[in-house]
Amino acid sequence: MNLPGRETTLADARFTDLDTLVEALRPQVVPILRAPFVFLGYSMGALIGFELARSLRAEGLDTPVHLVVSAFRAPHLPDPHEPVHDLPDADLVVRLRELGGTPPEVLGEPELMDLLLPLLRADWSICETYVHRHDEPLDCSLTALGGADDPEVSPEELEGWQSHIRGPFELRIFPGGHFFMQTAQALVLRLLARDIRAVLRRLDT
């Protein structure tokens, strides 16, 4: 399943706010969920997973037993960065260079950037226009992942996720920057497998 505007749905209209995205996503996800299940989200995906879990709960549906959130600050914390989703294309490219993770040959290819920039602009809009609404913590455990050299998200901002769940919380910091899940992939997968096994053991007791 792809969100609109990605891969095989590249020509589709893109979501620019999280509430609309979650409302559209929930009926697509519900038929394939089989408890117990885990949501894993990287960057914007962490925010989507969190709000989707809250939306499922509001509808009286099964919710994840565990959340894995990566490279995104706790949702109640303000964004310390200036908004970029309305910047000119040239300035967005500069921002992408600062973040790293996008090959220079892609950034230097105008036709590719014509395809990617509207998608990235929509994603930034989702994150930058998000307004957190207070609600009860989720009845699940949570693992927060971050990069030691990530200029976007600090360990303290990741620790804030603990206030949004009732179960056990783990904070894991890996070598690398914002794209540590690529550069430290083997280590990330090994520790995630360990955490999920621990969740399953708790369910069996």
Active site residue 43: yes
What is the CA angle 78-57-5, rounded to 5?
65
In this structure, the chain runs to a length of: 205
Structure token digits, residue 12: 């589709």
Burial of 13 (0-12, 13-18, 19+ CB in 10 A): exposed
Whole-number Å distance between alpha carbons of 155 and 145: 9
Tokens 């589709």 found at: 12
Catalytic option among 43, 70, 125, 141? 43
**By three-state DSSP, how is residue 161 classified?**
helix
Of 5, 65, 72, the closest CA to residue 37 belongs to 65
Catalytic residues: 43
